[in-house]
Chain A
Amino acid sequence: DIVMTQSPDSLAVSLGERATINCKSSQSVLYSSNNKNYLAWYQQKPGQPPKLLIYWASSRESGVPDRFSGSGSGTDFTLTISSLQAEDVAVYYCQQDYRGLTFGGGTKVEIK
């Protein structure tokens, strides 16, 4: 199984400041046939199902604010919230779909 490791487990950021979450996979999730990284990011608020934010490591899902961005390739990925808003308080998960489907352990984002 591909293991996804997120860091940090939690972080507190001031409103308007940048939040950065890291995700590392135990093996590459880059498909050579289409040069796409099968890495997605989700946001989950309490009592709600996850919401898709980013796919192919850096493509933003329709309707997702542009303050959310993803980067990385191969085994190392980052989700960045450029200017944290109050409504961004949530747990964020990375997920690979290269072989099976596995999630990172989650990163809780709070307001400082």
Chain B
Amino acid sequence: QVQLVQSGAEVKKPGASVKVSCKASGYTFTSYDINWVRQATGQGLEWMGWMKPNGGNTGYAQKFQGRVTLTRNTSISTAYMELNSLRSEDTAVYYCARGIRVRGVNDYWGQGTLVTVSS
């Protein structure tokens, strides 16, 4: 069965960086996009960017341009999201999701990773 398993919760200080991993299983990793979406407590969903594991092409939401980097390691079917220059407003649950571009959807989601930014 398709699964996306994310790394555990992180606590970071303002100005630091965080790298969240998302390990895919149950499907061919390079055949689907990976989207990253975050959600602050009690708030809505915010898209950060996408990556095409086959080739590594990426696209970022304007809000996060220059501060987020999406990468992957196809040998272990794992995608990564690194966010730099953290501030308190970045405290949120970060999700990876499998994207199907032709349908414009994210059909499977990771369990989420809580990133807390606090001094």
Contact = CB atoms under 8 A, between A and B. Distances in A.
Nearest to B112: A49
How many of chain A's residues touch chain B, expressed as a range?
Answer: 20 to 34
Interface residues of B, number: 22
Nearest to A50: B109
Contact of A40 (B47, B62, B104, B110): B104
Contacts, number: 62
23 contacts: A1-B61, A40-B104, A40-B105, A42-B45, A49-B111, A49-B112, A50-B45, A50-B106, A52-B106, A52-B107, A55-B103, A55-B105, A61-B105, A95-B104, A95-B105, A96-B104, A101-B50, A101-B61, A103-B37, A103-B45, A103-B47, A104-B44, A105-B44
Interface of A: 1, 36, 38-40, 42, 44, 49-52, 55-56, 59, 61, 93, 95-98, 100-106
Given A38-B104, A50-B97, A95-B45, 18 more contacts: A36-B104, A40-B106, A44-B45, A49-B97, A50-B109, A52-B106, A52-B107, A55-B103, A56-B103, A95-B106, A97-B105, A100-B59, A100-B61, A101-B47, A101-B61, A103-B44, A104-B44, A106-B45
